Structure 1
Amino acid sequence: MIETPRLILRQWLPEDYPYFAQMSANPKVMQYFPKLLSRSESDALIDKFHDIIDHQGWGFWAIELKATNQFIGFVGLHEQATQFSFSPCVEIGWRLDHAYWGQGYATEAAQAALKFAFDQLVLEKVVSFTTLENTKSQSVMQRLNMTYVKDFQHPALAVDHPLCWHVLYQIEKNDFC
């Protein structure tokens, strides 16, 4: 468990499943992902995240508001061993319910995840990527002091897919404040 002034980053709980399923079926939340997720796909994703955290002690953690104990999304780190031309690498990513956008939660949670990456995992570099159109996530990356590296085609998407083109950012340990 990782705490920030307003948030708790923690292992996934059974009560997170219905909230995450609602997020995963929300067109606004999933705008920059290839598709909405069914309930079974959403549940399977949580199971995967949970198992990775159980196995290695870190991954995509559930985010909970301290003030209300409300689940609001996830943030964390994921090893990308082979999928990308810039692999192997560890990525940082986040997805929050729309009701919690614009309040600094993604940045606050991501800063805590980066601190974990550099202090506990002793990583030298962390990357992040999103679609070219996802300027909100790119703004979070910039607030984290990440720097633009390049545009690239996501290998899991067809070259004619509207979300195929992504932007890659990175931060090195020495640049983390």
Structure 2
Amino acid sequence: MTEIRTPRLILRRWHDDDIAPMADINADPQVMRWIGDGSVRDLDHTAAAIERWEEEWDDEGFGLFAVELLASGELAGFAGLSVPDFLPEVLPAVEISWRLGWQFWGQGYASEAAHATLEFALQDRGLDRVISIDRAGNDASQNVARKLGMVPERETTHPVYGFPLSVHTIDLTEFAG
């Protein structure tokens, strides 16, 4: 079982008891405003998503980690890797992403989890390049990408929703783990 410990977090595979707290995060309009069309997601959708994320672990050897606070055991959200099939123009690629409950924002958890995930991608999984795809205007997410050392690669448009996207990238030669 893949698990990463940082000073404040555990990044791990998903458990059944993660579904309800992740569903609470997905049901928050403040959290979801930058995701897809901005719609909130319910318990059933979250359970199906976690199942897909676990399948990606089996298929690809990487996926989205559940992010747990080390001190309390509380689920903060996710960080991890996926293949961004929704944006064919960037393929082949592996995307790093993160989503935390709003109560965990502004404390450096997203950067800490993303840094550990990027190190996992480049050093453990042997990927030579990772991208981040953010909705234009999502300054907090783009700030995390910059903290990782990612640089803008291109601007594009979401193929379904039509809003602008920013694609950032980093490769192994640029990563200062």
The percentage of counterpart residues that share the same residue type is 35
Question: Which one of the candidate residues 146, 152, 157 is aligned to 2:150?
Answer: 146
Deviation at 1:81, TM superposition (A): 5.5
Deviation at 1:14, TM superposition (A): 1.1
Which amino acid in structure 2 is aligned with residue 49 of structure 1?
A: W
Matching residue of 1:3: 5
5+ residue gaps, structure 2, are none
Aligned to 2:15, the other structure's residue is in SS state: coil
Over residues 7-59 of structure 1, what are the superposed CA-to-partner deviations in whole Å (9 max), with x where a residue is unaligned?
A: 11001111111111111110001011211112211111111112222444420
Matching residue of 1:135: 139
Deviation at 1:82, TM superposition (A): 7.5
Kindly indicate whether residue 17 of structure 2 is the aligned counterpart of residue 15 of structure 1. yes
**In structure 2, how many angstroms separate the alpha carbons of the residues matched to 1:39 and 1:66?**
25
Is 2:10–2:70's contact at 8 Å kept on the other side of the alignment?
yes
TM-score with structure 1 setting the length: 0.92
CA RMSD of aligned residues (A): 1.3
Aligned to 1:123, the other structure's residue is in SS state: coil
Matching residue of 2:111: 107
Matching residue of 1:175: 174
**In structure 2, how many angstroms separate the alpha carbons of the residues matched to 1:171 and 1:54?**
25
TM-score with structure 2 setting the length: 0.92
Aligned to 2:41, the other structure's residue is in SS state: coil
Give aligned pairs, total: 172
Which amino acid in structure 1 is aligned with residue 77 of structure 2?
A: G
Moved more, 131-140 or 76-85: 76-85
Is 1:154–1:166's contact at 8 Å kept on the other side of the alignment?
yes
Which amino acid in structure 1 is aligned with residue 23 of structure 2?
A: A
